[in-house]
Structure 1
């Protein structure tokens, strides 16, 4: 009992220490500047306000409202397309034998360790050659290509844990491979799909590096690109920046909360078997 209590207290302590910076950001975003001069932890006067959030959403030069809409234009197709393609690819790697299967899967694994910074110039040159620089389509293609390898690896590992008995029974009854995949395998893979969706959505929504390379028109800037533009030349409004950061964080957090049940099952399901 004492050992369990010790680990519980330790876990809560680590969690509280971990969340302290976020609490500071929230306090900075929701309190007037004069109340923060002695530190956000000083509560001699406490008058919370949402004015910083309104100012961030309606910023005259870097409207976060428009930026979040632009981010949705990119994040939705850049999440669904790689998820669909990689799920089918992962199933193929887990169930079928074909020439160079091991080699192709090794290439998939190797691409997981490829830093974006090492291929930033080739990506820009390729998109420029295709006339896709400063277009959402170009950014969607890059995110799709970047997401397919890790989702393929993830889904392949999950599919290897699903017993083949039901698929073989359906095949004996005359079901085609497509029918088996969509009507039998896909419903069983919903936890893994939910996990991959949440991770890919969060990654694309939070991306700054690839967007910085490919998107530069002021009206096309994504949410993450607009936050740095809210800094003044001679003055930095930390309340405005903090509220903008929180607004951008809310969307992936909401997606995670909606898919939490599937996310947890998908992340630990195949790793425990």
Structure 2
């Protein structure tokens, strides 16, 4: 009787919503399934469509070929992407956290105007600053240097991280900070001893967002990195395409290797990531 009553409680609207949700989810996953199927099979089996399952054989040759590609080895591209993404995530996170704490806790006459200017920087498109940034890097001698990408991505990430952390800090209770201040703790000690440990969920969300943004960037990498020896992974994958040939098996393998790093990072920080996203949206 209990099982029957549970089925009776399910309304047609609920069934429709679930069916639509499952349909959207499957449609969204379908391209990823196609990429995975193409990456692990020989090209002659997928040239007429990855959904053809006869014949079907699994091989890792595509991954090996992409990893050791003579034109642009993806192994070196992943290394360079990692060398750029790590500092370009940590530097703006630390600077943005300090600035966000200042905007959240300290009152000055010009605070709101400065904060508005910082937020407006988020609206500037990359293409608008491409030429000035390129000229600046030429004068600094940083063209085809990974440092140029670290600097531009750090500068690009600071405004949104300030906004993110400022909103998150405003959700934290003031009582703990005031008690520490009464005990003689300085503002900086309160920040790194009390506030930062409480901000780990927000930090995890920032790491995921900023790392994925830097890792997936193609525009600035294409503008600033002209030496093939320092190409990033996002530059190596498109160069698998020849003038008359599109090796979809190699492209799929390269795409999987490239996206595996941010996916793994998200899987590791998922629990903190969700908490950080919920926390920063409570106050604005």
Displacement of 1:6 in angstroms is 3.1
- The counterpart of 1:124, out of the listed 131, 134, 145, is 134
**Aligned length, in residue pairs:** 273
Displacement of 1:234 in angstroms is 2.3
Partners of 1:236 and 1:89 in 2: how far apart? Answer: 47
Corresponding residue number in structure 2 for 1:238: 248
Considering only CA atoms, is the larger Rg found in Structure 1 or Structure 2? Answer: 2
Aligned pairs for 1:1-273 within 5 A:
1-2=10-11, 3-272=13-282
TM-score, normalised to structure 2's length? 0.93
Cα deviation digits, residues 178-207 of structure 1 (max 9, x gap): 111111111111000000011000011111
Task: Identify unmatched segments of 5+ residues in structure 2.
Answer: 1-9
Task: Identify unmatched segments of 5+ residues in structure 1.
Answer: none
Cα deviation digits, residues 121-159 of structure 1 (max 9, x gap): 011111112111111111111010000001111111111
Displacement of 1:268 in angstroms is 1.4
Cα deviation digits, residues 72-99 of structure 1 (max 9, x gap): 1111111100000001110110000124
